[in-house]
Amino acid sequence: MLLSEMKDGQSGIIVCVGGNSALRRRLHEMGILKGSTLYLEKYAPLKDPLELIINGYHLSIRVEEAAQITVDNVK
């Protein structure tokens, strides 16, 4: 499942971070790494961006960037 397809309050484990090399590097620098557990706290009122909790901190990313991240074990 893609991160952009998750609903509010779901959590999962990152399986793959896609996109071009610049985007992938930027996401890795923000802590979005394969094997990390994340929690989708909420979407903004207009559904872009979305707010994650990953590695103990809050992170907001665009939905188009979230569509490059594959997540597994969604609960």
**For 29-70, how does the pLDDT look when each residue is reduced to its tens digit (9 = 90+)?**
999 999 999 999 999 999 899 999 998 999 999 999 999 999
For residue 14, the model assigns a pLDDT of: 95
For residue 74, the model assigns a pLDDT of: 79
List of domains in the chain: 3-72 (2.30.30.90)
For residue 19, the model assigns a pLDDT of: 87
For residue 22, the model assigns a pLDDT of: 93
For residue 47, the model assigns a pLDDT of: 87
11-41 as b/e: b if 16+ CB within 10 A: bbebeebeeeeeebeebeeeebeeeeebbbb
